[in-house]
């Protein structure tokens, strides 16, 4: 099993997750191309990666200086610009199957037949995304967690046609990033989102019914069950809009227990999206 990350990695979508994924591969020694939707978005993505690396340097967890690590980053405006020598492509564009299929198809055509393609989807069917690709055996889910640099888990999601050799390679890369990979069969919400989202939705229902306030609900799980972060704080971190989209998908695929509570819909409609907007179930200083 490999103990190093691939030499050339591409990340499509340099938002919260994509910038974090780019950061950890850069810090582990890879050359990383981030593909963003336009010049301004690309500059913003570079800023997120740079800020993340500065933060690691401040904490003393970065090998080398920020400038040297950042010199391995390139920004592209379309996957068509990826080199044929790309080893691994991870897409982290918004949670829409049509958009993911489009960028993965374009990346596969540019990167060539030897590249491994991966999706960071939290809930969409890896099997359906694979079906749209010319080489579905070269595709798997690599589900990173938020915030990527601090999180220790990557869920490796295996579709029926995924080549087992890829799963072994991905386990090695994840280990080289200092993280642990777990292997799960493709199924709605995999293992992590299915369990985490269900708890989050139930916490929102407990709040909605006036059983306890947000602080009390989070404290119940943090102190009572030793979760490092309560389910409402965790929903704020992920983003209420992101959680709602996942819940709607799991509601459609797994049934009523994932029906999004009205309070979640209301907060999203009001623009209370969690930490990123300063207010969700809790409030945050910017």
Give the footprint of ligand NAD on this chain (CB under 6 A).
12-18, 35-37, 41, 92-95, 103, 120-122, 145-146, 238-239, 242
Which is closer to ligand NAD, CB of 55 or CB of 212?
55
* CA proximity to 29, closest of 82, 57, 71: 71
Take residue 146 and report the two structure tokens written for it.
Answer: 């938020």
The smaller minimum CB distance to ligand NAD, of residues 14 and 260, is found at 14
Other C-beta atoms closer than 10 Å to the C-beta of 46 total 19
Minimum distance of ligand NAD from residue 243's CB (angstroms): 8
Give the pair of three-digit tokens for residue 51: 């800020």
176 or 240, CB closer to ligand NAD?
240
The residue at minimum Cβ distance from ligand NAD is 15
The answer to whether residues 67 and 45 touch, using CB atoms and an 8 Å cutoff, is no
Structure tokens at 95: 């949670």
Rounded least distance, CB 9 to ligand NAD, Å:
15
Dihedral sign from CA coordinates of 50, 51, 56, 57:
positive
CA distance 69 to 154: 23
Give the nearer residue to ligand NAD in terms of CB position, either 29 or 55: 55
The smaller minimum CB distance to ligand NAD, of residues 17 and 108, is found at: 17
- The least CB distance from residue 69 to ligand NAD, in Å, is 21
Q: How far is the CB of 139 from ligand NAD (least distance, A)?
A: 15
**Minimum distance from residue 102 beta carbon to ligand NAD (Å):** 7
Maximum distance among all Cα pairs of the chain, rounded to whole angstroms: 57
49 or 176: CB nearest ligand NAD: 49
At closest approach, how far in Å is the CB of 92 from ligand NAD? 4
Question: Mind giving me the DSSP string for 65-104?
Answer: -HHHHHTTEEEESSGGG--TT--EEEE---S-HHHHHHHH
Distance (Å) of CA 72 to CA 26, 54, 67, 69, 139: 7, 15, 9, 6, 25
């Amino acid at each position: 099993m490999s103990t190093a990350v691939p030499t050339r990695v591409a990340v499509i979508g340099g938002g919260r997750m994509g910038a974090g994924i780019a950061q950890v591969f850069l810090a582990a020694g890879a050359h990383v191309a981030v593909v963003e939707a336009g010049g301004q978005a690309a500059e913003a993505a570079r800023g997120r990666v740079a800020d993340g690396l500065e933060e690691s340097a401040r904490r003393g967890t970065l090998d080398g200086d920020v400038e040297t690590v950042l010199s391995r980053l390139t920004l592209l405006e379309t996957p068509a610009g990826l080199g044929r020598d790309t080893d691994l492509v991870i897409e982290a564009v918004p949670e829409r199957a049509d958009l993911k299929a489009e960028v993965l198809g374009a990346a596969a055509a540019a990167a060539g037949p030897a590249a491994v393609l991966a999706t960071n989807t939290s809930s969409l069917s890896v099997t359906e995304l694979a079906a749209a690709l010319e080489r579905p055996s070269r595709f798997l889910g690599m589900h990173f967690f938020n915030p990527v640099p601090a999180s220790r888990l990557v869920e490796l999601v295996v579709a029926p046609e995924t080549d087992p050799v890829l799963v072994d390679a991905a386990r090695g890369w994840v280990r080289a990033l200092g993280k642990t990979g777990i292997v799960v069969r493709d199924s709605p919400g995999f293992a992590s989102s299915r369990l985490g989202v269900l708890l989050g939705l139930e916490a929102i229902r407990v709040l909605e019914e006036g059983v306890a306030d947000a602080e009390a609900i989070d404290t119940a799980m943090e102190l009572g069950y030793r979760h490092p972060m309560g389910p409402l704080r965790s929903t704020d971190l992920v983003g209420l809009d992101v959680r709602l989209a996942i819940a709607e998908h799991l509601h459609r695929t797994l049934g009523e227990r994932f029906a999004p509570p009205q309070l979640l819909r209301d907060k999203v409609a009001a623009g209370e999206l969690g930490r990123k907007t300063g207010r969700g179930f809790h409030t945050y200083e910017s």
